[in-house]
C-alpha cells in the first residue's frame, strides 16, 4: 500500500478530463494536478521548449512526493515523455499509448482519424502507436490548434460551435468510424465535436484507458492506496487561479474545489 498522491500535469485545463476519470476509477486515491496555463498552448511551441516546460512541471510534482506521474497532455506525451522518463525515479504514464490502444480496439472499418495540437500531429506519435497495434489500420490526422485555447477561454456555446465547425471542416472529406480526441482539452467540447462528425462515429477519449492502466500499474507495483484512505485532491495552476477554479468546479462537479497559483 502507498498513500502518496498520484501526480498529473497538463499545459492547462485539459488534464482535468483525466483527473475526472482517475477519481472515478480510484475514488480513495489522492491526486495533485498542475496546469501550466501561463505557457498554454504547448502545441505551437518548439520541441525543446515543450520539454523544458514539462520538466518544470515534473519537478513540481516530485517535490510533492507523488508516487506516479500521468502526463495528462498529449503534446507533452508526444514530445517530452521519452526524454524525461529516464531522468526520474517515478514511472510516467502517457495518454497517447492508451488512446492508441482504445482506437485500435474500437474501429471496425480500420479507419481512424486523430485530431490534436500541431506538435502532437507533427510527431506522428498516434500513427506509430496505432499501427504498432494493427498495421492495417489507416490513420489520418488533423491539427486543430484553435480548440485548446477555445476551451481555456471558456467561451459561450455559439462561439464554441463555430470554432469547432471551422477547425474540423477538413474531416468532412474523410471516411472513418473512430475519432481520437488527441488533446485532453477536447472531451470538454465533445458535444460540439459530436455535432460535426457522423453520428455513427465513435469518439475515443484516451482518459478512459489511462485511468484503467494507471490502476493496473499501481496494483502491479503494490502502490494502491489504503481502502480506508480519505481522498484529497489538490489543484495548482501557473495562470489565473480564479479562472481555473471556475471551469474545474463545473467539470469535476465540485463546488468546494479551490486552486492555488504557483510560479
Catalytic residues: 73, 183
How much helix, strand and coil, in percent to the nearest 5, is found in the chain? 50, 15, 35
Q: Is 143 helix (H, G, I), strand (E, B) or coil?
A: strand
44 touches 119 (CB < 8 A) = yes
Q: Which three cell numbers stand for residue 180?
A: 481520437
User: How many beta carbons lie within 10 A of that of residue 172, not counting itself?
Assistant: 10
Put the strands of the sheet holding 6-10 in their side by side order. 92-94, 68-71, 6-10, 31-35, 233-237, 259-261
Amino acid at each position: 500500500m502507498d498513500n502518496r498522491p498520484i501526480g498529473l500535469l497538463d499545459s492547462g485545463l485539459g488534464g482535468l478530463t483525466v483527473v475526472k476519470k482517475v477519481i472515478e476509477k480510484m475514488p480513495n486515491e489522492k491526486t495533485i494536478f498542475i496546469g501550466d496555463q501561463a505557457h498554454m498552448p504547448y502545441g505551437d511551441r518548439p520541441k525543446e521548449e515543450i520539454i523544458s516546460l514539462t520538466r518544470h512541471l515534473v519537478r513540481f510534482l516530485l517535490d510533492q512526493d507523488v508516487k506516479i506521474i500521468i502526463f495528462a497532455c498529449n503534446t507533452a506525451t508526444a514530445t517530452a515523455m521519452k526524454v524525461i522518463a529516464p531522468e526520474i525515479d517515478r514511472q510516467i504514464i502517457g495518454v497517447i499509448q492508451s488512446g492508441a490502444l482504445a482506437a485500435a480496439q474500437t474501429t471496425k472499418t480500420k479507419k481512424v482519424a486523430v485530431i490534436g495540437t500541431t506538435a502532437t500531429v507533427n510527431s506522428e506519435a498516434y500513427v506509430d502507436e496505432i499501427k504498432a497495434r494493427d498495421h492495417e489500420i489507416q490513420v489520418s490526422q488533423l491539427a486543430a490548434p484553435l480548440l485548446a485555447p477555445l476551451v481555456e477561454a471558456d467561451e459561450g456555446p455559439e462561439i464554441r460551435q463555430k470554432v469547432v465547425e471551422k477547425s474540423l471542416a477538413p474531416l468532412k472529406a474523410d471516411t472513418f468510424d473512430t475519432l481520437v480526441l488527441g488533446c485532453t482539452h477536447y472531451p470538454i467540447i465533445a458535444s460540439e465535436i459530436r455535432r460535426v462528425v457522423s453520428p455513427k462515429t465513435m469518439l475515443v477519449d484516451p482518459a478512459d484507458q489511462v485511468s484503467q492502466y494507471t490502476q493496473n500499474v499501481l496494483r502491479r507495483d503494490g502502490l494502491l492506496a489504503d481502502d480506508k484512505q480519505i481522498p484529497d485532491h489538490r489543484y495548482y495552476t501557473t495562470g489565473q487561479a480564479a479562472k481555473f477554479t471556475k471551469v474545474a468546479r463545473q467539470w469535476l462537479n465540485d463546488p468546494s474545489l479551490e486552486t492555488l497559483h504557483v510560479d
